Structure 1
Amino acid sequence: MTEGRRLPNPLPRPANELDDLVRAWRTPKGWRKISSVNNTVIGLFYIGTALLFFVLAGVLALVMRAQLAVPGNTLVDAATYNQLFTMHGTVMMFLFAVPVVEAVAVYLLPNMLGARDLPFPRLSAYAFWAYFIGGLVFFCTIFFGASPDGGWFMYPPLTSKVHSPGTGADWWLLGIGFIEISAIAGAIELIIGILMTRAPGMTLMRMPLFAWAMLVTAFMIVFAFPAIIAGTILLELERALDWPFFLPDRGGDPLLWQHLFWFFGHPEVYIIFLPAAGMVSMMVPVMARTPLVGYRAIVWALAAVGAISFLLWMHHMFTAGLGPLALYATSAASFAIAIPSGVQVFAWIATFWKGTVRLETPSLFLLGFHFIFVLGGLTGVMVAVLPFDWQVHDSYFIVAHLHYVLIGGMVFPLFAGLCYWTPAVNGHRLSERLGRWSFGLMFGGFNLAFFPMHIAGLAGMPRRVWTYPADVGWTLWNVLATLGAFVLAAGVLLFLVDLARTLLRKAQDQGNPWQADSLEWLPQDCYGVRSIPQIESRTPLWDRPALSQEVEAGQHWLPGTVFGGRETLVTSPRKAEIRHLLRLPGDGWSPVLAAAGTAGFFLLLTVSWYFTAIACGVVSIAAVVWWLWGSDRPLPAAHATIGQGVSVPTVATGWRSHSWWAMVVLIAVDATVFASLGFAHIHVSMKLEVCPPPGAALPPGGPWLAALLLAGSAAMAFAVRRLRGAAQGWIRAAVLFAFCATVGGAVLDIVSHAQAGLSPRADAWSATVAALLSWQGFHGAVLLVMGGYVLARSWSGRLRQDARATLDNTALFWHYVTVQGLAGMALVRLLPQWMG
């Protein structure tokens, strides 16, 4: 619609237009700021919380390094060291690394894409507060001796009820599993925001590379994180209900956990690295004062890294006794992923070589990143060689490799980004002198801390030990590593003090201190940009120097607020052509209450406060209903003028609606959890000599169950069709019929499994069947809640053709649950016959 179009000279703007815009987007003051859903507020909260966890995990690491500084040290005992080790890895991986990249994206992406905000601001707020509350409660367990001590990877049988009888493992399983839900919520927000709210004209191949990196990362989260959610569900069921998924004496397999965990765990390395790589791709050309070399090659490299990373989960299981074919394939994939990673590194080096580099603090951190990350990549290629990995697996060589990749690949680019983008927050740059000192201490301290670990590992020092004897030749390397860790910590502390000092200064106009090329350096306020720009190139601020003045003068799209509220534009995913006006929700307390209720539900289950946990769950559901109730209220007019006489729709339904696509992404997450549970069932089944095992039988009633599932889905499809004629009575009847079919199917499924004599405690096969049944039953309960919400909307007169997202999305999810139920039936009832 707007591709390649340069806007004409505008007419003078209305006198009160800017005042109305400011009024609509004004941020609450004082403690009420907690209720804000604006991306700039939530993004800063997010970044600050992630950095807090970074510091806390770093303190734990310093205590561990002090313990290992000399042989036979007794600073902490073995049990405490195991808790420190577990919490350090857990907090760094789950509470810092992934949240901080999502936090930076929440803060930067709307401005970088020329949007007013992300499309689901309350979802962003919910994701943050769930992470904040749950993360702090989880970390505080260390002060009460209740922290997990089975390692941040939580391998069974060490973490089974027999070997870990306390609540530490339960805190990990329920707390971290719930925090992963927060990360997935953020990923859904980012996918829809990147694909559907870009500035007009910003085609996919004009999109900033940080947006590309976050898009790939968000899809990786969608398909990787559900595996760990499924794994935590199974392990918690084993601990709480004695369902033996991982107990070999009853048909379980500890390797099943490793498969599920590392299917999440190895992509997570690249989930951490790719956003950092996107930040590097944004900063390198600006610091080199020249366009980035190989834009398209980097885009394809980002996609390739994301795809190949899912082939590498067995990279962590080379010594677990897998078959030769699996080992060779994983080894080949471990080599292959170095190619797209190398493409990006060579593109950055070529850009530096082509341009004139400004050796300011961001450039120093970027150069340090190149050095450290390349070394980490080289050792990664080394451990991809099977005979070498057999020698160094579970040694300190792997600890060194891991930190070179993660700290070099993410922390140094993050600190470069904090230097680079801090002026976008309040207009002030960090101190150049303190920045250079910070970099020197961090770079020198890091290499002094972790390079000796390579040598200690090659000398035979195993990882995860709390002390060591004096006569094994590891003392020197551990002394150096401890000294380096404290030097690194001093550099981090100096940087964070300077960051806090800078952010506390009085705000001023941000300007464009680096003479950058991307849209986040346009003049910004609480509403983002004054008008949404028309984009005609990849480097808009370099190619059109007057763009800043045009945008600030309201000469582009949506220069004010059309209907008095918060609004942005929805554009097509590929060409970014304007589709419709999107009304955004304002500030409110419902996301905070929903997050607190969700956190309370999961965390209180850990300490067996079941009634209080259920009450928290009810509060969470009520808060979600509260925020959704008015979310699809139609605007006063079917069309809106967004500038230059252009009128666009204010309503979108079906596949043109951003909420419909969000439901599609949520279904992808849900389907991946189900696939992980299905994999567990298949894995356990293939270990059996006879399937089903003795004492178990296949549940009857399959055809009747399938008929009920299909009948409920057909009723919802009928309801969707009848809404076109506004036949509310028929809609309610169809939803009620779907209700009955769902309840009837659930009852039939439970009865048929009882008739088969399946006992989840008896053997792992029956336990996986019960897990699949429970998962389907949970979805049946969700459908009842969603269907009840649709009925309430219909009875209140809020369900109409121009406000139908509730029904469309509920029907879409209902169809998915039907497909999932049929797939579960096939796994349980047909798989044994096929295997036989």
Structure 2
Amino acid sequence: MSNEVNKIEYVSYLEHQGRFKGLKSWIFATDHKRIALLYMYAIAAFFFIGALLGLLMRFELIAPGETIMKAQTYNGLFTVHGVIMIFMVVIPGLSAVFGNFFLPILIGAKDVAFPRLNLFSWWIFVFGSVLAVASQFLKSGPPDTGWTFYAPYSTTTGTSVIIATTAAFILGFSSILTGLNFLVTVHQMRAPGMKFFNMPLFPWAIYATAWIQLLATPIVGITLLMLIAERLFGIGFFDPNLGGDPVLFQHLFWIYSHPAVYIMILPAMGVITEIVPTFCQRKVYGYKAIALSSLAIAGVGFLVWGHHMYTSGMSENARWFFSLLTFIVAVPSAIKVFNWISTMYKGSIDLKPPFLFALAFIFLFIIGGTTGLILGSVATNIQVHDTSFIVAHFHYIIFGGMGFAFFAAIHYWLPKMYGRLYNFRRANIACIIMFIGFNTLYFPQFVIGIQGMPRRYFDYLPQFQTGHMISTIGGVILIFGLFYMLINLIKGARKGPKAPANPWNGSTLEWQIPSPPSLENFDEPFEVKANPYDYK
């Protein structure tokens, strides 16, 4: 971007001395960049806990019969794994970390619209997360319902469902407040001269995501309150014995939880849209199509929840209607993939680690999206419903999508966040190891799912052992790659060589200011006059 930002003597946000010292200067900070790092440290810790729990499940499934744990322990484990990964990692992940850090910078603002509300959102997130973890250690035992808390089992089981659902309810408040903050920031805090259609595309993705956070999250909050009320007071919302309807719970849950998939994936798409033009040194192809496709995904995503429920007894008309909408919502996602590939065409491609992770994302997301169309079709969905095929599809979208985009983002923006560089060769090796491990772990799940392997089962028939054995080996490879990447990033952030202000020759605003940024990002007023992807 040919927007010159005057550079004067500055103190980075990491060195700034405010009202508090030491730890208090972080946990009571209202600077959006410090809050972003607080989110990142918490989310990274939860992610590795969830990943290790997933590896324990894989060790249990390495052979038929009881291997390292009992069935009830396994049920609790996959519930804990799901709650941590969905509510404490994937949903807040990219928005809370990179949205917080870079949304204001990319639109030329000094901070988000409501800095104190931003800090309050983080404290709510921490409180909800602590409560969720605590629910796993209570006397009644960890919840064993799965992360979906399906009724009527969740209304009758004797495990710690109330604490876990209360935690999810509290975490929802953090999501709502963050979304509200980002919406106001985009509308009110853009730099002079920056119109909507010359914003970078990552803010567009965060903007679309924020609408989903604001409008969809209250639905799941109300649903969880109804579940808690039924358990505490015997109100018959979902339990048929009390006059309730368990299918109502599924409708209410998925009206939120399918849009929640786009809370996870839209920021990931925004990250990839920033990385691809930078490492191809080309103006992004189809800027307006990518921007509007983010809004289209957010809008149509509210209307497709029924494809999770084809086997629940809905009418034939409802099934074909939801199937049609599922195929329609795939169109704006396909537009993004087409535009990323078109941007690469005839570009000066530089295979640095962020771009390698972006390529991995595109490959894995295409597999996840294509198998999503298989599930969107009623006939094929009914055959593979509640099998390992669903597990594989879900992880290709969520981990292959949001996860690899998060890794791409941290490798792309770490030099700006910490002012230091990591080892590129080790980062590339980590990416390749994780890519191999991920596909070895999850692709066999497609195969055994088609063969009839049910998901969430503690035991299975001997005919599925080969697939589970390969998956477990893939899980070990993936975990090794994750820790290898983590060590390289920590070494880079702490002791790596100092990063220049613009190590990737990027054109957006964050690359026009020093690394790491100052407290208020921009020390002099400026006006945006150019396209955000103005590569010469």
Using structure 1 for the length normalisation, give the TM-score.
0.61
Aligned counterpart for 1:359 among listed residues 351, 356, 369: 351
Tell me, yes or no, if structure 1 residue 114 matches structure 2 residue 98: no
Which residue does the alignment assign to 1:494? 484
Contact 1:369 1:413 in 2 (8 A): yes
Correspondence list, 1:59-458, <5 A: 59-103=52-96, 104-144=98-138, 146-160=141-155, 163-166=156-159, 168-458=160-450
Tell me, yes or no, if structure 1 residue 53 matches structure 2 residue 43: no
Which residue does the alignment assign to 1:707? none
Please tell me the root mean square deviation across aligned C-alpha atoms, in Å: 2.2
SS state of the match for residue 256, structure 2?
helix
CA pair 222-38 structure 1, distance change in 2 beyond 3 A: same
The aligned amino acid for 1:136 is V
Distance 2:132 2:110 in 1: 34
Deviation at 1:519, TM superposition (A): 0.7
Deviation at 1:27, TM superposition (A): 7.1
Aligned counterpart for 2:474 among listed residues 464, 477, 484: 484
Deviation at 1:248, TM superposition (A): 1.9
Correspondence list, 1:705-784, <5 A: none
1:375-399 Cα deviation digits (max 9, x unpaired): 1111111111111111100000111
Correspondence list, 1:555-570, <5 A: none
Aligned counterpart for 1:535 among listed residues 513, 523, 528: 528
Contact 2:430 2:485 in 1 (8 A): yes
SS state of the match for residue 534, structure 1?
coil
Q: Unpaired runs of 5+ in structure 1?
A: 1-5, 544-836
Deviation at 1:318, TM superposition (A): 0.6
Correspondence list, 1:616-635, <5 A: none
CA pair 200-507 structure 1, distance change in 2 beyond 3 A: farther
Distance 1:508 1:111 in 2: 21
Contact 1:372 1:405 in 2 (8 A): yes
Distance 2:92 2:401 in 1: 16
Contact 2:277 2:533 in 1 (8 A): no
1:738-790 Cα deviation digits (max 9, x unpaired): xxxxxxxxxxxxxxxxxxxxxxxxxxxxxxxxxxxxxxxxxxxxxxxxxxxxx
The aligned amino acid for 1:139 is V
Instruction: State the aligned residue count.
Output: 527
CA pair 485-24 structure 1, distance change in 2 beyond 3 A: closer
Deviation at 1:505, TM superposition (A): 2.6
Tell me, yes or no, if structure 1 residue 475 matches structure 2 residue 469: no
Moved more, 236-245 or 30-39: 30-39
SS state of the match for residue 445, structure 1?
helix
Identity fraction in percent: 34
Deviation at 1:171, TM superposition (A): 1.3
Contact 1:426 1:510 in 2 (8 A): no
Distance 2:286 2:210 in 1: 23
1:96-129 Cα deviation digits (max 9, x unpaired): 0111122210111111111111111111111112
**Greater CA radius of gyration, 1 or 2?**
1
SS state of the match for residue 83, structure 2?
helix
1:558-593 Cα deviation digits (max 9, x unpaired): xxxxxxxxxxxxxxxxxxxxxxxxxxxxxxxxxxxx
Deviation at 1:250, TM superposition (A): 3.4
The aligned amino acid for 2:91 is V
Deviation at 1:26, TM superposition (A): 4.0
The aligned amino acid for 1:485 is G
Tell me, yes or no, if structure 1 residue 505 matches structure 2 residue 495: yes
Deviation at 1:218, TM superposition (A): 0.3
Q: Unpaired runs of 5+ in structure 2?
A: none
The aligned amino acid for 1:152 is W
Deviation at 1:285, TM superposition (A): 0.1
Which residue does the alignment assign to 1:547? none
Aligned counterpart for 2:509 among listed residues 508, 513, 519: 519
Moved more, 23-32 or 284-293: 23-32
Distance 2:73 2:15 in 1: 53
Contact 1:27 1:526 in 2 (8 A): no
Distance 1:479 1:444 in 2: 15
Contact 2:143 2:164 in 1 (8 A): yes
Contact 1:147 1:171 in 2 (8 A): no
Distance 2:383 2:420 in 1: 50
SS state of the match for residue 337, structure 1?
helix
CA pair 376-22 structure 1, distance change in 2 beyond 3 A: closer
Contact 1:114 1:532 in 2 (8 A): no
1:389-412 Cα deviation digits (max 9, x unpaired): 111000001111111111121111
Distance 1:18 1:390 in 2: 61
Deviation at 1:165, TM superposition (A): 2.3
1:444-494 Cα deviation digits (max 9, x unpaired): 000000000011111111001011232xx1000000000001111111111
The aligned amino acid for 1:68 is L
Distance 2:103 2:319 in 1: 39
The aligned amino acid for 1:365 is F
Distance 2:506 2:68 in 1: 50
CA pair 538-25 structure 1, distance change in 2 beyond 3 A: farther
Distance 1:427 1:299 in 2: 30
CA pair 23-508 structure 1, distance change in 2 beyond 3 A: closer
Contact 2:421 2:497 in 1 (8 A): no
Distance 1:419 1:323 in 2: 48
Distance 1:306 1:95 in 2: 21
Deviation at 1:32, TM superposition (A): 2.1
Contact 2:352 2:424 in 1 (8 A): yes
The aligned amino acid for 2:59 is A
Using structure 2 for the length normalisation, give the TM-score.
0.94
1:267-296 Cα deviation digits (max 9, x unpaired): 111111100000111110001011100000
Distance 2:303 2:520 in 1: 42
Deviation at 1:172, TM superposition (A): 1.5
Deviation at 1:143, TM superposition (A): 4.1
The aligned amino acid for 1:112 is L
Distance 1:238 1:76 in 2: 32
Distance 1:74 1:143 in 2: 23
1:680-714 Cα deviation digits (max 9, x unpaired): xxxxxxxxxxxxxxxxxxxxxxxxxxxxxxxxxxx
